[in-house]
């Protein structure tokens, strides 16, 4: 599953891109809040939405006290100068406010009568190429099977379901992934599909890689955390996207070589899922070239860091 245990200090990360992410989120929420924030109207899911906001407020005011403060029922963000009612008046506001506090997207998985965890609430503003509406209420298995996640049924399904069932509030986990994106859309990848055509699910089958240049290609890496909320018992999944032009990350020592190596190790199923045929012709020669330059310049004599691949 590629998961590891999470230190509480690293649950929510903030960086210098906060304002850009925040402005993008606010714009999306103002444009169409229902497309980005939703919840199933039952007791446990309502409670879970309020709990997300409570947990984040607790965490952020302690972890980032210069940025977030809570006084007299008002949560303040000193960077954006926003003020939010605390507690929130409705589950929807709890979720949309939560979305504005952090750079991450949020999904809540709630146990349903069929014994499966379902995506029963979310605040999803920066997904890249899927819409909350398309996945809303889906079970963990359906979510992954419909997205065509490689080897899900034979390798992941059983262990993931068992893991979800047994998770306790004191043992959060994280995992990282990465995708290659054909454009610079943080909120939506326009080369994957028409955002306005809401009936069309965006995928590599609808992708347009015509006249692609190396400058278009972006590296999208998600840092995902998963924890059980103590009151509602729902599972809170956060998706923190790191998004950079490939030409930027390829400047880092070791990255071009390691990334090209990881891509070349993919089997056919993974290559298909990651849309390799759309970008490999441009990206792999570029990475090889950059790697050669790093070898020649002695840049690889430095110690290797950690990469999400
Ligand atoms: C232990 C937890 C989880 C594991 C191990 C896992 C595993 C995976 C893997 C291997 C993929 C393929 C891409 C990648 O490497 O990320 C994937 C994709 C996906 N997962 Fe999960 N997943 C987990 C939890 C969740 C949860 C809670 C959701 C609920 C929203 C979710 C929604 C998705 C979606 C929508 C995709 C498809 C993305 C796309 O290709 O469009 N996953 N997952």
Which atom belonging to ligand 1 lies closest to the Cα atom of 239?
A: 30
Stretches in the chain below the pLDDT threshold 50: none
What whole-number distance in Å separates Cα of residue 283 and Cα of residue 217?
Answer: 8
HEC assignment per residue over the chain:
CCCEECCHHHCCCCCCCHHHHHHHHHHHHHHCHHHHEEECCCHHHHHHHHHHHHHHHHHHHHHCCCCEEEECCEEEECCCCEEEECCCCCHHHHHHHHHHHCCCEEEEEEECCCCCEEEEEEECCCCECCCHHHHCCCEHHHHHHHCCCCCHHHHHHHHHHHHHHHCCCCCCEEEEEEEEECCCCCCECCCCCCCCCCCCCCCHHHCCCCCCCCCCCEEEEEEEEEEECCCCCCEEEEEEEEEEEHHHHCCCCCHHHHHHHHHHCCCHHHHHHCCHHHHHHHHHHHHHHHHHHHHHHCHHHCCCCCCCC
CB-based pocket (< 6 A), ligand 1: 1, 3, 107, 109, 119, 129-130, 135, 143-144, 147, 149, 160, 175, 177, 226, 237
Output the residue whose Cα is nearest ligand 1's atom 37: 147
What pLDDT score was predicted for residue 127? 94
Residue 38: exposure state from Cβ atoms within 10 A (0-12, 13-18, ≥19): buried
Q: Ligand 1 pocket test: which of 117, 143, 225, 275 has the largest number of ligand atoms within 8 Å of its C-beta?
A: 143
pLDDT tens figures, 241-288: 999 999 999 999 999 999 999 999 999 999 999 999 999 999 999 999
The residue whose CA is least distant from atom 30 of ligand 1 is 107
Q: Which single residue is written with the structure tokens 């454009």? A: 183
pLDDT (0 to 100) of residue 248: 97
- What is the Å distance from ligand 1's center to 39 Cα? 19
CA 144 to ligand 1 center in whole angstroms? 6
Which atom of ligand 1 lies at the shortest distance from residue 237's CA? 27
pLDDT value at position 306? 74
């Amino acid at each position: 599953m590629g998961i590891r245990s999470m230190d509480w200090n690293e649950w929510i990360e903030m960086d210098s891109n906060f304002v850009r992410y925040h402005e993008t989120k606010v714009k999306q929420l103002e444009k169409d809040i229902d497309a980005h924030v939703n919840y199933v109207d039952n007791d446990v899911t309502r409670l879970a939405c309020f709990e997300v906001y409570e947990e984040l407020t607790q965490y952020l005011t302690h972890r980032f006290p210069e940025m977030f403060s809570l006084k007299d029922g008002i949560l303040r963000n000193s960077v954006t100068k926003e003020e939010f009612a605390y507690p929130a008046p409705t589950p929807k506001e709890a979720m949309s406010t939560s979305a504005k506090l952090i750079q991450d997207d949020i999904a809540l998985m709630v146990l349903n009568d069929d014994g499966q965890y379902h995506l029963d609430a979310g605040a999803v503003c920066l997904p890249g190429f899927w819409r909350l509406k398309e996945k809303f209420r889906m079970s963990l298995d359906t979510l992954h099977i419909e997205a065509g996640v490689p080897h899900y049924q034979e390798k992941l399904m059983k262990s993931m379901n068992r893991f979800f069932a047994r998770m306790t509030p004191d043992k959060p986990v994280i995992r990282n992934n990465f995708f290659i994106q054909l454009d610079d859309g943080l909120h939506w990848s326009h080369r994957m599909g028409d955002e306005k055509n809401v009936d069309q699910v965006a995928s590599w089958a609808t992708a347009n890689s015509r006249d692609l240049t190396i400058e278009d290609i972006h590296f999208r890496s998600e840092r995902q955390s998963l924890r059980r909320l103590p009151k509602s018992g729902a599972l809170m999944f956060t998706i923190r996207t790191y998004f950079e032009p490939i030409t930027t990350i390829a400047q880092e020592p070791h990255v071009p070589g390691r990334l090209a190596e990881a891509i070349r190790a993919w089997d056919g199923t993974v290559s298909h899922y990651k849309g390799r045929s759309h970008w490999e012709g441009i990206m792999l020669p570029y990475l090889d070239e950059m790697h050669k330059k790093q070898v020649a310049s002695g840049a690889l004599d430095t110690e290797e860091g950690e990469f999400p691949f």
